[in-house]
Amino acid sequence: MTRLLIKNIGHLVTMNPRREVLRDAYVVAEEGWVKQVGTGPVPSLEGARVVDAKGGICIPGMINTHHHMFQNLARAFTPISNLPLLPWLAGHIPLWKGFTPDDLFVATQVAVAELMLSGCTLTSDHHYLFPAAASRDILDAGFHAAESMGVRYVGCRGSVDNPSPVMPEWACQKTDAILEDCQRLFDKYHDGGPGSMWQVAFAPCTVFGCGGTLYKETARLARKLKVRMHTHSGETIAENVDAVATLGMRPVECLSAYEWEGDDIWLAHGIHFDDAEVAHLTRNKMGVAHCPCSNMRLGSGICRVNDLRDGGSPVSLGVDGSASNDSGHMLNEARLALFLTRVVHGAESMTVEKVLEMATLDGARNLGRTADLGSIEPGKCADLAVFPAEDLWSNGAENKVHALLLCHPRTVDTLVVHGEVRVADGQLVGVDLPRLLEHHRKTAARIQERR
Ligand SMILES: [Zn+2]
């Protein structure tokens, strides 16, 4: 039996229903599952691997609910550094014409390395780039790269079937080919059971890039197979204006017309919703992935986090693609989420505790994983992140848990995914990071040559 004991945890942020924060605590895991959480004398467990948390702060592994990992091959790309969404997209799409599964593999490994070192144990990747010339099995590379790193992974099968100036013909696929690949990926990778390491979600890109038929058929297939649905919505004001002009409806109305209503859906960004749309989304318990860094970087706006959460919708966090972030640092994303709502609504409008809920429990809700993820409790998966108690930038902090978000973002000392130690002493286990980064740099240089 695989046993793990994490001892000497200074602050254990359980996120259990009582939101207990335990002092001088320990966690015992067996076969990937939390068996015991306690304080006081540490149990002696025969054959257990013992990790000393050195008084650190332990939180449930954070859940990243929006990303486009391939984009880390074009981060801080000069031509799009200072542009809003649509020109930004048009400015980097030509780079990807020769994109291959091998490129996605290395981009995913680097994206996952960033996420894991910053406290993430489950990440989704919304991959919508399927160049006509590339192998049709492109998202397979994402699953295998995630597996090589030991992270939990939700491959969101993105799609575009409407060519446009920003998404030209070579970047689009036929509706039938997309649906066939959704089914193929489900058959090959989706595990809907407790403790699952691999799931798929179906994720048309936007109401501009995808026709109503694709949205409807995707929803019908997703509901038949019981998988989650994801799409971009409410990211910019222009999106609402253009949808009315070209489709005769706002994007949320389009989604309803396309059978996209329900608690099996989470939307990326969710900024520019009017009051009626917020009421509609919360009534249907539709979730949002809040991406504060990307929203600031592209000047898109500020998500109505409290209106959505107060109405009962989960609002989780997403680092978004690295061409608009430009780093996937999960703790930093949480910190920005804490501050961005305060910019509009004041210092009391968002707390460390609420942001930690968004980073963990709301993420589990949006991905349909409330039964096995999101908190550190007996019966849940042993997914947890241990941050050092303090560092230079947080030295002497009175409230160690608040300092985790109020002070400069740290990286983890220890990361555990399904009971396996994936980061030890601040280093990714079994990953030759310098070699990976060199390979990634060369791939990025090749991609960027296409400018
Ligand atoms: Zn996105």
| HSE value, Cβ hemisphere, 13 Å, CA-based, for 366 | 33
Mean pLDDT of 94-99: 93
What pLDDT shows up at residue 133? 77
Mean pLDDT of 308-329: 96
- Contact between 443 and 431 under an 8 Å Cβ cutoff? The reply is no
User: Rounded to the nearest whole angstrom, what is the distance from the C-alpha of residue 135 to the centroid of ligand 1?
Assistant: 23
User: Rounded to the nearest whole angstrom, what is the distance from the C-alpha of residue 313 to the centroid of ligand 1?
Assistant: 19
What pLDDT shows up at residue 135? 73
Beta bridge partner(s), residue 202: 157, 229
Kindly list the domain boundaries of the chain, sorted by start residue: 3-60+381-426, 62-366
User: Rounded to the nearest whole angstrom, what is the distance from the C-alpha of residue 206 to the centroid of ligand 1?
Assistant: 10
What pLDDT shows up at residue 165? 85
What pLDDT shows up at residue 132? 83
Mean pLDDT of 197-221: 97
Beta bridge partner(s), residue 51: 6
Q: In degrees, to the nearest 5, what angle opens at C-alpha 231 toward C-alphas 96 and 248?
A: 105
Residue 259 pLDDT class (50, 70, 90 cuts): very high
Mean pLDDT of 89-117: 96
Architecture of domain 62-366: Alpha-Beta Barrel (3.20)
User: Rounded to the nearest whole angstrom, what is the distance from the C-alpha of residue 303 to the centroid of ligand 1?
Assistant: 14
Give the residue from 106, 105, 160, 172 showing the smallest Cα distance to 137.
105
Tokens representing residue 350 in the block: 């968002």
What pLDDT shows up at residue 408? 97
Q: What is the helix, strand, coil percentage profile of the chain, to 5? A: 40, 20, 40
| CA–CA gap between residue 8 and residue 45 (Å, rounded) | 15
Q: Flag whether pLDDT at 44 surpasses 80.
A: yes
User: Rounded to the nearest whole angstrom, what is the distance from the C-alpha of residue 5 to the centroid of ligand 1?
Assistant: 38
When mean pLDDT is compared across 17-21, 82-86, 140-144, 250-254, the lowest value belongs to 82-86
User: Rounded to the nearest whole angstrom, what is the distance from the C-alpha of residue 92 to the centroid of ligand 1?
Assistant: 14
Mean pLDDT of 396-419: 98
Residue 195 pLDDT class (50, 70, 90 cuts): very high
Q: Flag whether pLDDT at 298 surpasses 90.
A: yes
User: Rounded to the nearest whole angstrom, what is the distance from the C-alpha of residue 339 to the centroid of ligand 1?
Assistant: 21
In this predicted model, what pLDDT tens digit does every residue of 147-161 receive, in sequence order? 999 999 999 999 999
Residue 451 pLDDT class (50, 70, 90 cuts): confident
What pLDDT shows up at residue 233? 97
User: Rounded to the nearest whole angstrom, what is the distance from the C-alpha of residue 103 to the centroid of ligand 1?
Assistant: 19
In this predicted model, what pLDDT tens digit does every residue of 107-145 receive, in sequence order? 999 999 999 999 999 999 999 999 987 777 899 999 999
Beta bridge partner(s), residue 62: 120
- Contact between 123 and 115 under an 8 Å Cβ cutoff? The reply is yes
pLDDT above 70 as % of the chain: 100
Beta bridge partner(s), residue 159: 204
Residue 166 pLDDT class (50, 70, 90 cuts): confident
User: Rounded to the nearest whole angstrom, what is the distance from the C-alpha of residue 319 to the centroid of ligand 1?
Assistant: 9
Residues with Cβ–ion distance below 5 A, ligand 1:
268
| CA–CA gap between residue 9 and residue 13 (Å, rounded) | 10
Residue 35 DSSP SS3: strand
Q: What would the CATH number be for the domain defined by 3-60+381-426? A: 2.30.40.10
User: Rounded to the nearest whole angstrom, what is the distance from the C-alpha of residue 1 to the centroid of ligand 1?
Assistant: 41
Reported in sequence order, the residue ranges of 236-358 that DSSP labels E, i.e. its strands, are: 265-269, 287-290, 315-317
